[in-house]
Amino acid sequence: MNKYSFLDDDLYKFSMCAVVLQLFPNVRVKYKFVNRGKTVWPDGMAIKLRERIVKLSKETILTQDEIEYLNTIRYFNPFFIWYLQNFHFDPSEVHVPDNIDDLEIEGFWRTSILWECRILSMISELYYEMTGQTLPDRSVLTKINMGKGYDFYTNEIRFAEFGTRRRFSFDNQDYVIQDLLKSAGSRMVGTSNVYFAKKYNLVPIGTMAHEMIMAHAAMFGFHQANKMALDSWIKVYKGDLGIALPDTFTTDNFLKDFNTYYAKLFDGCRQDSGSAIDIGYKILNHYKSLNLDDHIIKSRSIVFSDNLNSMEKILNIKKEFLDKIRMSFGIGTWLTNDIPGVKPLNIVIKLSAVEVDGRWVNTIKLSDDEGKYTGDPETIDLAKKCF
């Protein structure tokens, strides 16, 4: 990609940005980069990263064509699109020290929210460039991608491509989507990347990320976080984008608040940590405990999106829940960075603090997997005691 596109981002960043703009326009936040895989960065990479952040801030302006596309998405209101038309990335919000592991973002939530995926994909791409790793012949990649797509097609697996953040490159993500469309056909229900959704006439897929619930915890307390985040979502989307995220403070705690009202209003839940089958049954059994009609339960969805890196894993989940509840699969790195001889990075950017009444309140995530706990250890202990 010679020039950065404003739409080269995951939908959930835009959908959350719209909520923030409408309900929390003056809230300030901080984010921290987390190098989970302990990758050693090449010398000079921080300098290159700073240069690209400045380049992105100069080039990333919404075009008329992109504005017209966003106007076709019914749940984005005109004010939000006007806001994006006038949006300019501010590189001063991103602090990149010589040790990239200490990268931080700070600013108004409504502006800084749009840095995450762009910086993660930038770091991933820069790392491979600076370590001299290149793509194999296109025919090798096509064989890999088409093989997966054929498996999705023949096994009747509905899936979406979720691989923007840790892709090998923009071009390889493009190749992957092209190949999957040819081989998987209608089994590919969409992509999280809005640029590619527009380019290939796919459905852009995504709702909320953990930061939405984490921020509500900082503003309203741990006990209110899940409920308040769901209510904020309803205020803005009124039933659209109805896949809830239950694992920020564990699925068990989320389901205590996920009453009949929410269960009927939201289309389903996304499983993003813990055992996919165990969490899937927790969600399914919770629907049953609410005494919902069987046809309502079967109309609900579970979107499995945690570390789906083999067809065997996906088929095991499908076999377990077939004819019990609707299923879809959000698949990221295994699609956009499954390249012979290349090790995908394990990197994230997480919300670290929210300014509340003039003071910074630390944010944390528990998840259904202790290995994914993030944030200040004292605040993590406090949250566990509260729950």
Q: Tens digit of pLDDT for each residue in 259-282?
A: 999 999 999 999 999 999 999 999
| CA–CA separation, 239 and 323 (whole Å) | 25
| pLDDT score at 1 | 55
| pLDDT score at 372 | 78
Q: Which of 195, 193, 215, 166 is nearest to 16 (CA)?
A: 215
Q: Quick one: fold of 139-336? A: nicotinate phosphoribosyltransferase (3.20.140)
Average pLDDT of the chain, as a whole number: 96
Q: Tens digit of pLDDT for each residue in 58-101?
A: 999 999 999 999 999 999 999 999 999 999 999 999 999 999 99
| CA–CA separation, 96 and 85 (whole Å) | 27
Q: Tens digit of pLDDT for each residue in 216-246?
A: 999 999 999 999 999 999 999 999 999 999 9
Strand ranges (E), 254-370? 268-271, 301-304, 326-331, 347-356, 359-362
Q: Can 11-133+346-356 and 139-336 be said to share one CATH topology? A: yes
Residue 371 has pLDDT above 60, yes or no: yes
Strand ranges (E), the chain? 28-35, 94-95, 104-108, 159-161, 188-191, 203-204, 243-244, 268-271, 301-304, 326-331, 347-356, 359-362
Domain definitions of the chain by residue range: 11-133+346-356, 139-336
* Beta strands 268-271; 243-244: pairing state: parallel
Assign 331 to helix, strand or coil.
strand
- Class (C level, CATH) for 11-133+346-356: alpha beta
